[in-house]
Structure 1
Amino acid sequence: MSLGGHHLAIYNFGIHTASYMTAVIQGFALREPLNFEAATRAVGFVGRSGYAGEPGPGSWGEQVFPRFLEAGQTGAVSSLSLWHDIESLMAFTYVGVHADALKHARHWNQKQAWPSLVLFWVSAGDLPSWSEAVRRFELLADRGPTPEAFSFKSAFDTRGATCPIDRERVKALAEQNIEGQADLLSVVRTLPV
């Protein structure tokens, strides 16, 4: 459930080692639509921002990137989505289709000196903009975890208190998710890295 009328936002950011449609990034490109579909089937998924000019959900404002993407640099990859709570997000992130992508990410993404993601709470019904997500991302990079911008390792609840993660609930949700994405997993296992 969402906590106190809130949803958990996640923004992640990285830079590919090559352009999106090159052979080097093919494994990522083939998995991306399967990851999006797995998310929509996951327990606790609320929604995600799309990308302007691409099929799928609408964009939550103009897509911008953190300062770590240098002028003229290409290959930025980011996503922005909402979840009911941290346990449902963890169950999706670390088990199943998305976990497979994480396992291979080192083949597609540059090693980074910044956080890979930021978590933050928004009022239920609100959609965080890309610029708000980037602001929170940079805040986490600059100051470390705070109730305004945090990570799985240092989570906060909606009141700003440290938030223990219910690992047993994560496991139970992950088992439910696996059942709902078995067909996707069978495809993912055949894909090149």
Structure 2
Amino acid sequence: MSGHWLAIYVFGQFRTRADHPDVEIFHTSEPGVWAAMERSEGFIARSGYEDEPGPDSWGEQVYPKYWQDNGDGWAPSIISLWQDLETALAAIYRGPHAEILKKGPDFMQDHTDYPAYVLWWVPENHQPDWDEAVDRFELLGDEGPSPDAFTFKVAFDPAGNAVTANGKTARQIAERNRLTAVAPRSVQ
């Protein structure tokens, strides 16, 4: 939606330490998944992490109150910005990211008392930091969906009106993303 971007914060916890062999599928898949996401229609930007190659971190990384350190001081989390609900929905639930989501029960905790993600609108050119993202995540976890913190299933537009993501549009976007990913690159 013009004038606003959709912010997404995702948080999860591994069943084991991040360096355990069961988590290797996550680590080996992550670069390809993010490369596909960054090529997706509607992707704007994402935060990186301090002391890691890639995009700059959007402030000091913090975790929500739900975090339980399993001995490695780490948990998978990300902040990203998208054009709208449909482009984010297409990239997250179709393609490479959807494939790793299917494998998630093998390495992620699945019985949690907190949401997996939160969505909220930010003004264009606003880059939310980790504190803002965690605040929105905890708001959703504490109070449920609202215009300030919501999900794809219970969504709102930037004006605070309840909306439903257009699944047909998201599928069309996902197909364009897929075709772009497999299209041969021209040689210069």
- Shorter-normalised TM range: over 0.9
> In the alignment, which residue of structure 2 is the partner of 1:97?
96
| Runs ≥4 residues deviating over 6 A | none
> In the alignment, which residue of structure 1 is the partner of 2:149?
149
> In the alignment, which residue of structure 2 is the partner of 1:84?
83
Measured in 1, the distance between the counterparts of 2:182 and 2:23 equals 24
Structure 1 position 72, deviation (Å): 6.4
> In the alignment, which residue of structure 2 is the partner of 1:189?
none
Helix, strand or coil for the counterpart of 2:147? Answer: coil
Please, what TM-score do these two structures have when normalized by structure 1?
Answer: 0.90
Please, what TM-score do these two structures have when normalized by structure 2?
Answer: 0.92
Conserved in 2, the CA contact under 8 Å of 1:11 and 1:119?
A: yes
Conserved in 2, the CA contact under 8 Å of 1:14 and 1:116?
A: yes
- Does 1:5 find its partner at 2:38? no
Measured in 2, the distance between the counterparts of 1:20 and 1:68 equals 17
Measured in 1, the distance between the counterparts of 2:151 and 2:83 equals 16
Can you list the C-alpha shifts for 1:130-175, whole angstroms capped at 9, x where unaligned?
Answer: 1100000000000000000000000000000001211221111000
Q: What is the Cα-based RMSD across aligned positions, in Å? A: 1.4
Conserved in 2, the CA contact under 8 Å of 1:97 and 1:181?
A: no
Mark the runs of 5 or more structure 2 residues left unpaired by the alignment. 184-188
Structure 1 position 180, deviation (Å): 2.6
Percent of residue pairs bearing the same amino acid type: 41
Helix, strand or coil for the counterpart of 1:10? Answer: strand
Helix, strand or coil for the counterpart of 2:7? Answer: strand
> In the alignment, which residue of structure 1 is the partner of 2:31?
33
